[in-house]
Structure 1
Amino acid sequence: MQLNFKKLGNGKPLIILHGLFGSADNWFSISKELKDNFTLYLIDQRNHGDSPHDDEWNYEVMVEDLKELMDSEGLEKAFLMGHSMGGKTVMNFALKYPEKVEKLIVADISPRYYAVHHQRILEGLNSLDLETIGSRKEADDQLAEYVPNLGERQFLLKSLGRGADGFEWKINLPVITKNINEVGKALPDGESFSGPTLFLAGSNSSYIQQSDLDDIDAFFPNNEVEFIADAGHWLHAEQPDAVVEEIRRFLK
């Protein structure tokens, strides 16, 4: 699949993949701080952003999407970074195509299995009748019944676009809803990536815990784990300066 992406900057290639319900735009402010040192590729993964929609949605096909993009751009090797679902994609990619990964950065996700925990969000998104909603304010008011946190709703509603006939989802909501169990799948046993790997964890997030460190060591023996102070799961939005500093330090 030919993915949509934004390209900017100069230097060695750094590919960044967003998380579930996100898009390439989630990392644009971070990329502006890095564009003098790297050529940034900000990717919309399949069924997200402006990339194509498809019924098949799992890490196997997302890995192949990334491989196709690197091949089409003539990238034999690159720095890879992914947040949450994007982190699972780049981890799986590094296991399958280690020769194409110069260094790996994984933001607030570990190799283990995660139980499905997005049911209430999906209920809220699916409850919106886009044929009758007349404004973003109306969509926000309705979604608030399911997602009380304003910042989380604003993030989710970034995927609500306007088409010729009114509002439409940029995400492939039916396929994501049907296959949501794919997001939390663990990495396949018996493989490892020996290249330099940095795990960035939000200190206020539960996605990477001390109990995950043995798993991280098993899959990525050449690893560092850094906890970003005063950051939750969306560490790049909550502590962007600290995230940029860690990226620069690790990739220098």
Structure 2
Amino acid sequence: MILNTTQMGDGEPLVLLHGLFGAARNLGVLSRGLSGKARVVAMDLRNHGESPHGLPMDFGTMAADVAETLESLGIGRVKLAGHSLGGKTAMALALTRPEMIERVAVMDIAPIRYDHDYDDYVAAMLAIELHPGLTRAEAEQALAQTVKAAPMRAFLLNNLVLGANPHWRVGLREIQAAMPDMLDWVDPPGAQPFTGPALFLTGADSRYVGPEADGAIRRLFPNAVRQEIAGAAHWLHADKPAEVLDSLQEFFGL
């Protein structure tokens, strides 16, 4: 699958991959900050943003999407960074196509299984009646009973296109069907440890990458280093954009 991309800057290519329910534009602050010394290629993963919808959504398949998209752009070897779902996709690509990856930064996720899920969020989004004239306020009110946090409601509603034909940009049915794959981690077919430089950048206030993840990280990324961003939770690039940008610039040599 060829993914939708947003590009800016000149220099060696650097690919950015967003998290679940996100899109390339959600990483705009990183794209702009890194584009001074790199050709930043931010991608919409399958079933997100302006990319096509389709199953499956296992990480081997999503990594292959990224590789196919890079090949279609004539790009052979890249620096790579991904957050959450995009981080798992980035890991899968590094493990299966190491010749394409110079170095990889994984933001607040690890190659382990996660127990949380967003099934209730998906169900609440699907339950909204998409009628002409639907307003954002109506949609937010419909989500409020299930999605308690206002920032999360706003994040999810970024995917809602209003107007005469309201619709979701995200493939909600596909995401719903693929949730078990996205929460799990199974080494993708052909995976080998990635021996290049790897940065696991985490939010100090996040619970996504605890000490229990160390063994899994070392098994697959023997040269990995870990770094925490103080005062940041899972969406570290939103909580502390300047600090995350500094860490990525240093790691990527920009």
Structure 1 residues 133, 123: closer, same or farther in 2, change over 3 A?
A: farther
Counterpart check, 1:175 vs 2:171: no
Deviations 1:83-110 (A, max 9, x none): 0010010101111000110000000000
- In the alignment, residue 151 of structure 1 is paired with which amino acid? P
- In the alignment, residue 187 of structure 2 is paired with which amino acid? P
Scaled by the length of structure 1, the TM-score of the pair is: 0.96
Counterpart check, 1:98 vs 2:64: no
CA distance in 1 between counterparts of 2:178 and 2:197 reads 32
1:116 Cα deviation after fit:
4.4
Counterpart check, 1:68 vs 2:50: no
CA distance in 2 between counterparts of 1:58 and 1:212 reads 20
What are the within-5 Å matches in structure 2 for residues 75-224 of structure 1? 75-131=75-131, 134-162=134-162, 165-188=164-187, 191-224=192-225
Counterpart check, 1:54 vs 2:87: no
Deviations 1:178-233 (A, max 9, x none): 22111112141873100000001111111100111121111101111001111111
1:177 Cα deviation after fit:
0.9
Matching residue of 2:247: 246
Deviations 1:26-73 (A, max 9, x none): 101221111111110010011100001113322122111111111111
1:3 and 1:45 in contact (8 A); partners too: yes
- In the alignment, residue 138 of structure 1 is paired with which amino acid? E
- Give SS of 1:166's match: coil
- In the alignment, residue 179 of structure 1 is paired with which amino acid? A
| Structure 2: runs of 5 or more not aligned | none
- In the alignment, residue 36 of structure 2 is paired with which amino acid? D
Structure 1 residues 133, 55: closer, same or farther in 2, change over 3 A?
A: farther
CA distance in 2 between counterparts of 1:40 and 1:105 reads 14
Identical aligned pairs, as a percentage? 35
TM-align CA RMSD:
1.4
- The size of the alignment, in residue pairs, is 251
2:4 and 2:43 in contact (8 A); partners too: yes
